[in-house]
A and B are shown apart, each in its own frame.
Chain A
Amino acid sequence: MGDYRVLNTRAPRIDGPAKATGQAKYADDFKMPGTLYAAILQSPIAHARILHIDTSKAKKLPGVKAVVTSREAGLIKYGVSPARYDETLFAHDKVRYVGDEIAAVAAFDQDTAQEALSLIKVDYEELPAVFDMFEAMKEGAPQIHNEFPGNMNAEVHQEFGDTDAALAACDLVIDHTFLNKRQDAAFIEPHSCLAVYEPSGRLTLYTSTQVPHYVMRTVAMTLQIPVGNVRVVKPYVGGGFGPKCEATPLEMSCGLLSKVTGHPVKMSYSREQVFLHSRARHQFYAEMSLGVMKDGTMVALKNKAVLDGGAYTSFGIATVYYSGSLLGGPYKLKSMKYDGYRVYTNKPACGAQRGHGGVAHRACFEQLIDMTAEKLGMDPIDMRLKNIMMTGDMTVNELDMSSLGMKECIEAIRKGSDWNNKKGKLPKGKGIGMACGFFVSGAGYPIYRSDTYHSTVVIKLSEDGGMANVLTGSAEIGQGSDTTMAMIAAETLGISLDNVRVYSGDTDYSVDLGAYSSRQTLMTGHATKEAAEEIKSKIALYLSQELNVPIASITFGDGIVKFDGGPGNFDKLRTNYIKEHRGWTDPPSGEYLTFREAARLAYLRAGTIVGTGKYKPPKLGGSYKGAAVGTSPAYGCSAQIVEVSVDLDTGQITVDGMTDAHDCGLAINKMSVEGQMQGSLSMGLGECLFEEVKFDSRGRIINPSLGEYKIPTALDMPKVKSIIVESNEPNGPYGAKEVGEGAIMPTIPAILNAIYDATGVRINELPVTSERLFMALKKNAEGAKI
């Protein structure tokens, strides 16, 4: 690792004080004079034809300024991937799930808006509905979208090598199936938006999103406003984890209502509406076969996926590809076959969530490896190490592991958890399990086909030279990207973190695709570094001209500028600076020229000093269909060991400890890296042990609250040992890559493998509530008796 001053430290986040004092503003904290409050009418029926919508009474209610339906909004189709635009802002012919949007209202206050909703009369003709993905695939099932017969939203078939032949030649083939449940992202901040349409035709949205850029594009398209007239500003965001990666009906409704009324319009989702909007983790069914040789060499993997997509596509096409493409690694395989199906059902749409598409299949695969190891009499760690990919290896589906500290991660957790003294030596009821995983550091391609840069950054120096202002459209959503960019800018410019300010999350600042697929550190990081380098070379040029020294003799670092490694002769610059700033409190001093003085000189020569940077990945991936999904300039990887206690009489599970190692390339900020690792573990633990969005027989969510839908509390989380493993990623800025999502990959299977170790029972359905485990234990005991 290099000798860094700012990077690779545990610098406190730059937004920490604002957040700790309540000064940090989130979307719902904005207020503007004349603001109207909006509300959305959502379908109470899962599947119905809309016969008639009567808004006349609602419109007449005093205090109501506007009521809009598909008549006003039009029928422009939108979605995430242009290949599957299957939504309109408001339903017009049919509603397809309980929660489908039908109309929106703007009124002078919240209560009036709500009352107006109750005055809108909708005549429905109820249609048969289907809620189960397997039922939806059957012949004669209710059809949700005419364009997609059999409710088949997307199908993927990929094969690398001849998998059947390879499996036939294996010494051992083991099968496994796995079923997770629909998860909710359960970010603590519900979506919120304030839309301001100006008479000039400009629309500004202040909104809780992960992707200002995509929201800008979608809103411009659906509301038919020239894209240059739409500005999206992301204030601080209270968590996203995936579902805030696309434009919402809330944002579009606010925009439309503001356009129609000429007032600012504000709306926030209730917690129940967050559940109804969903776009969170799909339910996945996985069916897998792994073929190995007697010595433990993995040869072939067959993988089938069925995804319950809900009523619309959202991110689903990418999801169904990811379930296949992110599976084989980090193990060497000779062949791999994947068949994936994403199915429409009459439920809220699922989308991207932390570990997009990969989590459930990883859980199945990593259990399968343990099952195989057991059959072969191998230690699960040894089995993995035998097959592990190393830096420079390529997966069968042509994903390039340009750096991969997988082996180091495994060794770190083996040691950190004292695995060798525990595995196979724990009393009944106690268990230890492990698993691995990997993930992209940013998607190789944008969501829409384009040659766009994925990130651009502008750095502008203040006129006194003392402050570098980083302008970026990137999205700080809690993961710490603002701090990361500040650190990269400070390191590159050779100044202290205190001398960098970050302005982010605004489509007016720069182009940035946003916070999804764990891309900000690598992609925005590259652009930030390039912008800072341009600044440095501009300053160096003017210094060399002014002082008549070669550019190559000038170096920056620690807030000062050196000439041939020494102070050089800069007296006239200092005298001039001090003269210009007479009476100021902080005249430059010391034996070296300060960055501030050098930057001031550059300003005097050329006006405001600006540096720009940009990044887009090189062309990545193979040439087969769907090869783009899963590509990334770099892959992070992780390994985890979990220890559990199981009460064999009740099935109650206690997670006693977790040891986690993650290779994030260079850890730009070690504290933030650990934060991402620990947050991932808690989300994985929740999904594994208790999270499940449940529906009644008519497609209504029965637990749409954080009281009924349980996420981990401080009492559910064990002490976690987080071990950062650093590789040097050649494609990352300063060698850095992802940590935000990869860290969740091993959690579920590691817990499941530990439960097996404790009980001898394999669980293949989530969540593993004590009831589920109790029933499985009972069944197992009965089986043993017969």
Chain B
Amino acid sequence: MKKAIQLTINGQPVEASVSPNQTLVQFLRDDMGLTGTKHGCGLGDCGACTVLLDGKAVNSCLVLAVQADGCQILTIEGLAENGKLHPLQQAFVDKGAIQCGFCTPGMILSAKALLDEKPNPTELEIRTAISGNLCRCTGYQKIVEAIGEAAEVIRFREES
């Protein structure tokens, strides 16, 4: 018993039929081939599956695909524009915020949700925004620095 849904993924309208118990992360990874969204626990604990749903960071393992009907989804694959890394992606690369990279897509999207709302966050705000995204590799320091730097780049870009 599949259900038809219509949604926008990374700016592209998508029509699909999904089973009622399929999670959004399964739908994105298995049906859409968007494997940049990672699956680390399936329980809402690790944040590796974070995507933006109508601009808000959500754990896509806790959202059913049917719940995304009519929504705008942004995954890590939709962040770079015209082959150019988004400032957050660039800062993660430049600042050494990536090691194994498994937390990175979710981390970057949580950071994006933060910066969209608070272009000039404090360190504590940054740490709080990513506190649902676990990283076992980096100790977070370089991630926090990268998000701070990206915020600056984005602000500068918007001012000029």
Contact = CB atoms under 8 A, between A and B. Distances in A.
A659 interface: no
Interface in A172-217: 185-190
B158 to A, nearest CB: 21
B134 to A, nearest CB: 6
A94 to B, nearest CB: 31
Contacts of A23: 36, 77
Contacts of A236: 100-101
A227 interface: no
Q: For the side of the interface on B, what is the size category?
A: 35 or more
B9 interface: no
A749 interface: no
Contacts, number: 180
Nearest to B79: A21
Contact of B45 (A17, A241, A707): A707
Nearest to B96: A671
B131 A238 contact: no
A15 B100 CA distance: 9
**For chain B, what secondary structure do more than half of its interface residues adopt (helix, strand, loop), or is it mixed?**
loop
A26 interface: yes
Interface string B30-60: 0001111111111111101000000000000
B100 A238 contact: yes
A706 B131 CA distance: 13
B130 interface: yes
Q: Which residue among A19, A480, A675, A680 has the maximum number of chain B CB atoms within 10 Å of its CB?
A: A19
**For chain A, what secondary structure do more than half of its interface residues adopt (helix, strand, loop), or is it mixed?**
loop
A480 B89 contact: no
B104 A239 contact: no
B21 to A, nearest CB: 9
B36 A21 contact: yes
Nearest to B129: A714
A22 B140 contact: no
B141 interface: yes
A705 B89 contact: no
Q: For the side of the interface on A, what is the size category?
A: 35 or more
A683 B134 CA distance: 12
B40 A270 contact: no
B141 A678 contact: yes
A28 interface: yes
B142 to A, nearest CB: 6
B40 A189 contact: yes
A13 to B, nearest CB: 6
A22 B35 CA distance: 7
A24 interface: yes
A261 B148 CA distance: 52
Interface string B77-98: 1011000010001101111101
Nearest to A185: B136
B102 A10 contact: no
B105 A22 contact: yes
Given A188-B38, A237-B100, A21 B89 contact: yes
B43 A705 contact: yes
A20 B96 contact: no
A678 B142 CA distance: 9
Interface string A1-19: 0000000001011011111
B102 A238 contact: yes
B73 interface: no
Nearest to B99: A478
Given A22-B35, A239-B100, A479-B99, A13 B93 contact: yes
Chain A to chain B: the 5 pairs with minimum beta-carbon distance, closest first: A22-B36, A478-B100, A238-B102, A19-B101, A678-B139
Interface of A: 10, 12-13, 15-26, 28-29, 31, 185-190, 236-239, 241, 268, 270-271, 477-480, 671-672, 674-675, 678-683, 705-707, 711-715, 717, 719-720
29 contacts: A15-B98, A20-B85, A20-B93, A21-B85, A22-B35, A22-B75, A22-B77, A26-B102, A28-B35, A188-B100, A190-B41, A238-B40, A239-B100, A239-B136, A239-B137, A241-B136, A268-B39, A478-B101, A671-B142, A672-B96, A675-B99, A675-B137, A678-B138, A681-B139, A682-B139, A711-B136, A714-B133, A714-B140, A720-B139
